């Protein structure tokens, strides 16, 4: 290889109980301790427990934000049903397959990649160590392949297995060392250059959203279990035992969002967490919260829909419902983290926005962001806090909860505040909050709610531009599509087509001026998104926020976006 290797992409796969995912986590943990970055996606069969599982990893010297185009190595702990994953584990003639001949021939679906096969007696190696397990042998093989430092490898094992006692640690250290030695003897290596050791964070997008919630000041969470969002609820439920606050497991999605209405009305910064089908159930109440001006954050970790769809796979098809789902006219704030690293700040900011604007804020994550584990530099910045306005302009009979102001925001004293009693109401209301059928009141209040969003200065949080700012080609993306778009842009730029990526964080209200500036000078703009109907494209077109001739590159999940696919689309369209 002429160029220095920057990353290595490895899959560890096996049937249920072999511990493939644990081995994958160990690789990520070891890479982090060796000064590398990394990203791990988990695959599992449809079974609730057991079945085949695979850890898809890439570790390298630079931050990694998307799945690789291909994998350098597949380590098969056994074969069983691993061939089912073949379409999701692209291999080619320069890839390696490491497997145990005892498990039989490499399945045709995998062997047809032409990858070089290295046979190692994985089970035998494991049994040569007292208490040794095949997944730790696989871990050792992967660590050796990537050339991870022995100290980092052992430290990762201690951190992961330490809780199970010294015997387990010794067994894992032994099995991993045996795996390393066996693989070293093959003379094959994809050694990474030395990493830049520093303290970093290793976490998933779901955990990162949870942290952002706590930093934002969330003290009340109500949610109903739904894949792939439940991990946020579970993480918060555990953390809040120490942190304080409360997670209520509601009887259904509708109860959850209504509990949030109640707690927020009481003054507590509040969050509910769901995925598409749950969001669909919540929309009536979201309309109520918009009308009654009740702050809350609604997290939607998007998955493939409609209906049950594919609950464990990513898609960006909930944008329409996030923007427009509710009866009547209900303008709202919709934000989306542009990477896992962006989740803490964007979630924290979402809490601030909800509180400051007294309105629901939708946070659109997706399965790909939520359930992927990554190593990131510790985010340096935290958004400046914004709080709820609670001090009334007047009390007693002169207090008007929905008094018309220039900003559209009016003070929201919490119950317990004397002489400010008001009724939150989904009925059209007057400034006093009293129900009113008057056209004048209705229009004034609708305008007020729109004005809140339009006059607010979202500043530089609207999004980011990556790559050459004067590049003639612009890829516009949100959520987990940003990562592969950035890799694609780097490749296109390197290949002679300077390409910028406009990563949109604020999806509503559309930051038209910022977007126009970010797209200025672009001769070609392509909106890249992972859904079938081009929801972001249509949204921005409808808002007249795209330049003339802007194109849509939309395709649905469950297959993850890979940079090569975006490059191919762009190049093909150019050729045509």
Partner 1 sequence: MTIHEQPHACPQQLTLKDFKSSVEPIWCSGCGDFGVLQALQRALAELGRPPHEVVVVSGIGCSSRLPAYTTAYGFHGVHGRALPVATGLKLARPDLEVITVGGDGDGYSIGGNHFLHAARRNVDLTYIVMDNRVYGMTKGQPSPTTEADWDSDAAPGGTGVKPFSPLAIALAAGANFVARGFALDVKPLAAMIVEAVRHPGFSFLEILSPCITFRPEEMEWKKSVERGAIQPTSDRAQATATVLSDTEMATGIFFKGDRGTYREAPRGHGDPEKIAAQFRVGGTAHMVPEDSACCGGGRAL
**For residue 412, which of 289, 220, 267, 270 has the smallest C-alpha distance?**
267
Write down the least CB distance from residue 271 to partner 1, Å.
Answer: 12
Q: Which is nearer to partner 1, 437 or 572 (CB)?
A: 437
State the pairing for strand pair 52-60/7-15. Answer: antiparallel
* CB hemisphere CA count around 383 (13 angstroms): 25
Q: How far is the CB of 574 from partner 1 (least distance, A)?
A: 42
Which residue's CB is nearer to partner 1, number 268 or number 476?
A: 268
Peptide bond into 356 cis (omega under 30): no
CB of 16 to partner 1, least distance (A): 15
- Shortest Cβ 166–partner 1 spacing (Å): 12
Least spacing, CB of residue 118 vs partner 1, in Å: 26
**From the CB of 330, what's the least distance to partner 1, in Å?**
13
Q: How far apart are CB 344 and partner 1 at their closest, in Å?
A: 8
Q: Which is nearer to partner 1, 79 or 235 (CB)?
A: 235
Cβ proximity to partner 1, 131 vs 262, nearer residue: 262
Helices 439-455, 276-292: inter-axial angle, 10-degree rounding:
110
Output 53 or 259, the one with its CB closest to partner 1.
259
Q: Measured between alpha carbons, how far is 158 from 133 in angstroms, rounded to an integer?
A: 15
Q: Give every CB contact of residue 126 below 8 A, 6+ residues apart in sequence.
A: 132, 133, 134, 136, 137, 175, 178
- CA angle at 301 for the pair 291 and 21, rounded to the nearest 5°: 160
Beta bridge partners of 477: 503, 528
Q: Which helix (DSSP H) or strand (DSSP E) does residue 552 occupy?
A: strand 551-554
Q: Which residue number, 35 or 463, has a Cβ lying nearer to partner 1? A: 35
| DSSP one-letter code for 4 | P
Rounded alpha-carbon distances, angstroms, from residue 261 to 245, 388, 410: 16, 15, 18
- Quick check: helix, strand or coil at residue 118? strand
Give the nearer residue to partner 1 in terms of CB position, either 11 or 268: 268
Rank residues 65 and 100 by Cβ distance to partner 1 and give the closer one. 65
**Least CB distance from residue 416 to partner 1, whole Å?**
5
270 forms beta bridges with 220
Which CB atom, from 285 or from 525, has the smaller least distance to partner 1? 285
Query: How far apart, in whole angstroms, are the C-alpha atoms of residue 563 and residue 368?
Result: 15
Q: How far is the CB of 288 from partner 1 (least distance, A)?
A: 5
Rounded CA gap, 295 and 357, in Å?
A: 7
From edge to edge, which strands make up the β-sheet containing 473-477?
Answer: 463-466, 499-504, 473-477, 524-529, 551-554
**316 and 527 in contact (C-beta within 8 Å)?**
no
């Amino acid at each position: 290889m002429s160029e220095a290797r920057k990353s290595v992409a490895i899959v560890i796969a096996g049937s249920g109980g072999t511990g493939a995912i644990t081995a994958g986590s160990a690789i990520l943990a070891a890479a982090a301790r060796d000064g590398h970055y990394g990203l791990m996606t988990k695959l599992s069969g449809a079974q609730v427990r057991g079945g085949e599982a695979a850890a898809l990893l890439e570790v390298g010297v630079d931050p990694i934000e998307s799945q690789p185009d291909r994998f350098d190595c597949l380590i098969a702990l056994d074969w069983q049903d691993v061939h089912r994953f073949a379409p999701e584990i692209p291999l080619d003639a320069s890839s390696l397959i490491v497997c145990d001949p005892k498990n039989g021939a490499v399945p045709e679906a995998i062997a047809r990649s032409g990858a070089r096969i290295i046979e190692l007696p994985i089970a035998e190696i494991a049994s040569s160590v007292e208490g040794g397990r095949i997944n730790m042998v696989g871990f050792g093989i992967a660590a050796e392949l990537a050339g991870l430092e022995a100290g980092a490898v052992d430290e990762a094992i201690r951190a992961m297995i330490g809780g199970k006692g010294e015997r387990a640690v010794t067994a894992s250290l032994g099995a991993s060392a045996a795996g390393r030695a066996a693989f070293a003897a093959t003379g094959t290596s994809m050694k990474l250059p030395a990493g830049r050791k520093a303290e970093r964070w290793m976490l998933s997008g779901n955990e990162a959203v949870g942290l952002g919630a706590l930093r934002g000041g969330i003290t009340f969470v109500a949610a109903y279990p739904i894949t792939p969002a439940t991990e946020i609820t579970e993480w918060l439920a555990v953390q809040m035992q120490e942190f304080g606050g409360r997670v209520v497991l509601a009887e259904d999605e509708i109860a959850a969002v209504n509990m949030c209405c109640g707690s927020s009305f009481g003054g507590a910064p509040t969050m509910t967490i769901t995925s598409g089908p749950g969001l669909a159930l919540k929309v009536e109440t979201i309309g109520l919260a918009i009308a009654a001006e009740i702050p809350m954050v609604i997290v939607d970790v998007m998955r493939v829909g409609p209906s049950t769809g594919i609950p464990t796979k990513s898609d960006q098809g909930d944008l329409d419902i996030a923007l427009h789902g509710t009866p009547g006219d209900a303008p709202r704030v919709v934000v989306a983290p542009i990477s896992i690293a962006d989740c803490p700040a964007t979630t924290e900011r979402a809490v601030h926005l909800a509180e400051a604007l007294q309105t629901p804020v939708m946070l659109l994550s997706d399965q790909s962001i939520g359930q992927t584990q990554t190593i990131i530099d510790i985010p340096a910045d935290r958004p400046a806090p914004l709080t709820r306005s609670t001090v009334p302009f007047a009390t007693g009979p002169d207090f008007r909860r929905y008094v018309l102001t220039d900003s559209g925001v009016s003070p929201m004293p919490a119950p317990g505040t004397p002489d400010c009693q008001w009724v939150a109401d989904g009925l059209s209301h007057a400034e006093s909050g009293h129900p009113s059928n008057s056209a004048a009141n209705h229009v004034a209040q609708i305008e007020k709610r729109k004005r809140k969003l339009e006059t607010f200065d979202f500043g530089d949080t609207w999004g980011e531009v990556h790559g050459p700012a004067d590049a003639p080609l612009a890829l516009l993306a949100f959520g987990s599509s940003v990562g592969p778009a950035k890799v694609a842009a780097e490749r296109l730029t390197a290949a002679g087509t300077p390409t910028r990526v406009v990563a949109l964080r604020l999806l509503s209200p559309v930051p038209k001026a910022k977007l126009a500036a970010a797209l200025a000078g672009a001769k070609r703009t392509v909106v890249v998104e992972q859904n079938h109907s081009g929801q972001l494209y249509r949204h921005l077109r409808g808002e007249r926020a795209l330049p003339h001739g802007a194109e849509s590159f939309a395709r649905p999940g469950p297959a993850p976006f890979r940079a090569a696919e975006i490059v191919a689309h762009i190049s093909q369209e150019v050729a045509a």
